[in-house]
Amino acid sequence: MIAVTHLLGTGHLSRALTLGRAFAEAGHRVLLASGGMPAPHLAAHGVTLLQLPPLRSDGTDFARLLDETGTEAGARLFAARRDALCGAIRDLTPDALITELFPFGRRALSGEFLALLDAARDLPRRPRVLSSVRDILAPPSRPEKAARTERIVLERYDAVLVHSDPALVPLAISWPVAGRLEGRLRYTGYVAPPPAEPHPQRAGEGEILVSSGGGAVGLPIFRAAIGAARLMPGRHWRLLVGGGRERLAELHAMSPPGNVTIEPARPDFRQMLHHAAASVSMCGYNTALDLLQAGTPAVLIPFDDGNEVEQGLRARNLATLPGFDMLRSAELTGEALSAAVARVIGEGRRSGAGPTFDGAARTVAITREIVEARG
């Protein structure tokens, strides 16, 4: 059983589904409980998907959670989510329970995660309990938050699956790792789907592909892209917009030039990257791996609202490689974006060589080892 709640974009859910599909392909029965907004464009084949009453954050305020109507979530909704999670684990009685990000994040949902851990502990045969975290975390704002996380891990978890290569990005870059916590870490390598094949219709050929996941925070990127397209009339720009019709309508209302196509996010995006002249995007975990696999020249605009530092750390690392450039959100204008796109196109495509991306298969193997170790 995998429990995940994405609150802003869809990256957390996408990575959890990649893990779920890897377990299913290895012959395991998988239940994935998703507590964020539905994301039907993400592939869930082989995985039983349990959609909890959905939540999303109020922009970058992750302490204020909203329901699907935009109303602040109340006690009844949280109780329904908690009951659904606990009922699911009692029905499934899994060999392993994986909580995505918690207890290193999702503190606003501590009540339901702790209730799930209690329900797991009370099963006739307690499952092995694992936390799943990406390469870079949001650092704790106070020492007591790190101490609380360590206490929960040591008391409740058998291991922490870190989806990174410790030689490149150890967890200690973004999170204080003390001796006892370090002993629970198991590095899996990077979690990515198998590399996408080139698009059969060569969709996106020669275009600038602009994407920003499923959240509203990408709108400034799309607005800047329309401005940049006006300065580069010889290049076609394709804006792949998640989040529904309202965002599409807002961008169409800007009267984009004729070299701009605006359409919903596409499931064949990874295939399109093979043919694109360049990509413009934020720098979430999944996006970074997609770009590394495809070798696409890329301009990265890391999400840095509020106290967010994760994407900035990742983008700065990538910007040292050829064919990558980074713009901070404060620098984002049509002029700056057009210049950056021209620079990365001039540097050309990368070979795609770099870190390995078999973290999903390694996660399955590590989980099996931990489960079998108890006999």
Q: For 55-99, write each residue's pLDDT tens digit.
A: 999 887 888 999 999 999 999 999 999 999 999 999 999 999 999
100 and 21, same structural domain? yes
Distance CA 91, CA 1 (A): 11
Total count of domains within the chain = 2
Q: Is residue 47 part of a domain?
A: yes
Distance CA 157, CA 36 (A): 23
Q: In which band, very low, low, confident or very high, does the pLDDT at 375 lie, cut at 50, 70 and 90?
A: low
Q: Is residue 255 part of a domain?
A: yes
Task: Say yes or no to pLDDT of 216 above 90.
Answer: no
Task: Say yes or no to pLDDT of 112 above 70.
Answer: yes
Task: Say yes or no to pLDDT of 214 above 60.
Answer: no
183 and 57, same structural domain? yes
pLDDT for res 35: 97
Q: Is residue 200 part of a domain?
A: no
Q: Is residue 42 part of a domain?
A: yes
263 and 221, same structural domain? yes
223 and 157, same structural domain? no
Q: Is residue 287 part of a domain?
A: yes
pLDDT for res 352: 53
pLDDT for res 247: 85
pLDDT for res 60: 78
User: How far is Cα of residue 318 from the mean position of the Cα atoms in its chain?
Assistant: 17
Phi, psi (5° rounding) for residue 51? -90, 115
pTM of the full predicted structure?
0.81
Q: Is residue 202 part of a domain?
A: no
93 and 73, same structural domain? yes
Distance CA 158, CA 121 (A): 12
232 and 167, same structural domain? no
Residue 11 belongs to a domain with what CATH number?
3.40.50.2000
Task: Give the pairing type, strands 298-300 and 278-281.
Answer: parallel
Task: Give the pairing type, strands 96-100 and 128-133.
Answer: parallel
Which has the minimum average pLDDT: 22-31, 176-185, 221-230?
176-185
CA angle 261, 311, 153 (to 5 degrees): 130
259 and 280, same structural domain? yes
Q: What stretches of 127-212 adopt beta strand conformation (E)? A: 128-133, 159-162, 185-187, 208-211
pLDDT for res 11: 87
Scanning 185-303, the segments in alpha helix (DSSP H) are 219-231, 245-252, 269-272, 285-294
Closest CA to 85 of 44, 46, 55, 50: 50
Q: Is residue 197 part of a domain?
A: no
pLDDT for res 48: 97
Mean pLDDT (the chain) is 93
117 and 76, same structural domain? yes
92 and 166, same structural domain? yes
Q: Is residue 199 part of a domain?
A: no
122 and 32, same structural domain? yes
Location of structure tokens 């700056």: 336
The Cα diameter of the chain in Å comes to 66
341 and 216, same structural domain? yes
150 and 289, same structural domain? no
Quick one: what percent of the chain has pLDDT higher than 70? 97
Location of structure tokens 């799943």: 132
Distance CA 276, CA 235 (A): 11
| Residue span of the structural domain in which 84 resides | 2-191+357-373
In 338-366, which positions are buried (b, 16+ CB within 10 angstroms) versus exposed (e)?
Answer: bbbbbebbeeebbeeeebebbbbbbbbeb
